[in-house]
Structure 1
Amino acid sequence: MAITYKATGINLKAMPLGESDRLLTILTPEYGLIRVVAPGVRKQKSKLGGRTELFVVNQLLISKGRSLDRINQAETIVSYTGLSQNLGKLAAGQYLAELVLHQALSEHPQTELFYLLNEHLKRIEQLQHKTDRLWHTQLIAFLAHGIYHLLAIEGIAPQVQMCCATGYELQPNFNKSDWQVGFSIDAGGIIKLDDTYVVQSSYQNLSNPNFSTKINTLLNANQLSLLQQLPQPELQALAKLTSHQDWVKVEQLLRKYTQYHLAYPIRSAELIDTYLESIAIHP
C-alpha cells in the first residue's frame, strides 16, 4: 500500500505532463515547496479539474511515489479567482508567486511564507476594480508592499529608515523641493547625500573614508516616505495617494534590488510593464 500524507498548499506553477497529467509546484506550510503530479486533470471529466489552477489553495491527500508524488484527493479551501479576471491583478499575483518560487525551500516548513503570500494575494484580489488613476496606483502600491515583505522574510529587505553609511535615521524633508536622498543597491538601502556626492557616480562618507558605494538612483521626499511605509503591516492613507509615478519608481527600484540580491531576473515583472503601457498612465 502506498504511503500517503496530507498537506495544505497553494498552486504556484503548472505544466503539462504526459497525455493528460499536470505537474504542479505547490507551496505548503508543512513541507515547503513540493512538486506533485495531478493525474488525468487535462481530461474533460477529471474530478480534480479547477483544483489544479493557479492560486487555488487545497487540502491535499498525496501518495508517495518513486520519483514524483501524486495527488489522490483535493478539497478547495480558497480560490483567488478574482486575480484571473483582471490583467493587472493577475500580473501582480504572478510577480509575487515567482518571488516565492525562488525563495521557498523544499522539505522544510514554510509556514510564515505561506501565510504571507496568501495575505498579499488576498489584498490584491479584493481591490475593487476601477478604471481611474487611483485604482492603478493602489495596485502598484500593494505589489510593492508584497515585494518588500517577501524580501523581509528572506532577511534581505533594503534599509529604508536609516542611512546605510552613517546609521542615522532619515526623515523626508517636504519643505525643500530639491531635497533628495540616494539609494544604493549594493550597500542595501538609502544614503544621505552631502557635498562628497557626485551624480551617477560614487558616494564616499567623509567621516568613514572606507565606506564607498555607487548611488543607483535619487529619491525625493515623497518617494522616500512611500518606501518607509513598506515595512508596516498595512499601507497607510492609500485613498489619499495621488502620485502614480512615485509608486512605479518604488516598484522598479525594488525590482532591481531584488534581482541584484537574489541573482535572477524577475520574468513576471514584464507583465506589469506591459500592463502599465496598456493603460497609458502619465504623470
Structure 2
Amino acid sequence: MTQRSYKTMGINLKAMPMGESDRLVTVLTKEQGLVRAIAPGARKHKSKLGGRSGLFVVNDLLFVKGKSIDKLVQAETLRSFPGLSKDLAKLTASQYLAEIVLSQALTDQPQAELYYLLIEHLGRLEAATRANVLPCLVQAVFHLLVLAGVAPEVFRCCLSRSPLVPELGNPDWYAGFSVSSGGVVDMAELQRMESDRLKQIAQARSERLNRSAPSLAVHDASADYLPQSLPQSLAKPSATQPPRPGQRRRPVVSKELTANLGIVGYLSAAELALMQQLSQPELILSVASSANPKLAARSGTIEKAGTPAKMADHSEPHIMWRHIEKILRQYTQYQFDRPIRSATLIDTCFTSSTHASRV
C-alpha cells in the first residue's frame, strides 16, 4: 500500500491564489525536489498556513498526496527572510533567483544542493548593502549555473582554448562573450576568423573574375583583402579614393561572424576580472579598483574596512556590474530557453544607479 503522506523541508518559491481562500504553492524541497501543492484556507485571515505559505519561507512540511495535486496540511517555520520584502531591489533579486531555480529544479528527486545553495544566497542578499545587491545576485546566478553544469567559461577562450588573462592596465583590452559558444572569446581569435573569412571571399571573387575577365583577376584579388596589420593610413581610404571591396565587406563580415557565434557583448579587462571571481565562495575587493582608483568607491563589492555604515548603505553598484548582469542574464536565458521576467524590474531598480555611477 502506498504511503499517502510525506514530510520534508522546503522553501516556498511561488504562490498564487486558488479558489476563494486557497493558495497554490510551489516549494523546493530537499528530499522531493519541486512540489506543487494546495494550501487549503491559506488566504483566510486566521489561517495557520497564511504566513507559512509566503514567499521564501523555510518550513518543515507535511503533505498529503492527492489524485492530481498534493495538499499541504501542516507547516512549521524554520527560517524566513523578512529583510527581502523591505527592499524592492532585494526582493526583485530574490525572485530573479527563484525563476532560475524553478527552471533547473527537478520533481520527485532529491535537490539538497540546490536547496542549500539558494538559502545561502538569499541570506547574503538579505544582509547586503545597496551597493552589494547586484554583485550578490550575479554571483548567485553564476553558482546556480555551476550547479546545473552549464557555467560559462571565463578563464579560457571557448574557441581557441587559450588562457585569458585580463590586462587591467590596458584600457583597450576587451574580450567577446558568446552565449552559444559557452563563454568568453579572445579578440585575437575573432580577428583571425574575420581575416580568414575575408580571404575566402577574396579568393572566391578572384576565381569568378578569372573566369569572366582574366586580366582583372590579379588586381581585384589583391585589393579585395586588406590585412588587419596594415598601417592606418593605408587601411583607410582617402576622401577622394573610394573604399576597396575588402574594406566594404569587413563590417558585414564582422556583423555576420558576431551573429553566428552568438556574441552578445564585450567585456573590458576589469569586467572579465570580476567575472573570474564569481566562481569563488566569496566575492573579494574589486580588482577593478587597483586598475582605476576612481572605481573603488562604487565598485559594488565588499566595502573596505573603515567605510562609514551610512555611506555603505546608500552607495550604488558600479556600471560594470550592470553590464556583467545583463550579459550573464542573456547567457542564462539561452541555457534554460526561457526569459527571466524579474529582470525587467531589476533594470528599473538600478537604472538610476547606472546613471549615478558614471564617473
Secondary structure class of the residue paired with 1:201: helix
CA offset digits 1:138-188 (Å, max 9, x no partner):
111000001111111111111001111121211110122211111111111
Larger radius of gyration: 2
Extract unaligned runs of 5+ from structure 1: 129-134, 205-211
Measure, in 2, the Cα distance between the counterparts of 1:215 and 1:2: 51
Which one of 230, 250, 261 corresponds to residue 278 of structure 2? 230
SS in 2 for 1:216: strand
Instruction: Say if 2:327 is the partner of 1:253.
Output: yes
Alpha-carbon distance in structure 2 between the residues aligned to 1:274 and 1:242: 19
Quick check: 1:32 aligned with 2:26? no
Q: Please name the residue that 1:166 is paired with.
A: 160
Q: Distance in 2 between matches of 1:152 and 1:162?
A: 16
Q: Assess, with a 3 A threshold, how the Cα gap between structure 1 residues 241 and 156 changes in structure 2: closer, same or farther.
A: farther
Provide the alpha-carbon RMSD of the alignment. Answer: 2.1
Counterpart position of 2:171? 177
Displacement, 1:66? 1.6
> What secondary structure does 2:324 align onto?
helix
Kept in 2: contact 1:158–1:188 (CA 8 A): yes
* 1:281 alignment counterpart: 356
Distance apart, 1:213 and its partner CA? 2.7
1:124-163 map, 5 Å? 124-128=125-129, 135-136=130-131, 138-163=132-157
Asked if 1 retains the 8 angstrom alpha-carbon contact of 2:264 and 2:327, the reply is no
The 1:187–1:241 alpha-carbon spacing in structure 2 relative to 1, beyond 3 Å, is farther
C-alpha separation between the residues in 2 aligned to 1:159 and 1:219? 13
Alignment match, 1:207? none
Structure-2-length-normalised TM-score: 0.71
| Corresponding pairs, count | 269
State yes or no: 1:72 paired with 2:128: no
Deviating above 4 A after TM superposition, structure 1's stretches of 4 or more consecutive aligned residues are: 197-200, 238-241
Q: CA separation in 1, counterparts of 2:262 and 2:19?
A: 50
| TM-score, length basis structure 1 | 0.89
Query: Aligned equivalents of 1:177 and 1:8: distance in 2?
Result: 50
Task: Identify if the C-alpha distance between structure 1 residues 278 and 221 changes in structure 2 by more than 3 Å, giving closer, same or farther.
Answer: closer
Give the AA of the match of 1:58.
N
1:98-109 pair list within 5 angstroms: 98-109=99-110
SS in 2 for 1:218: strand
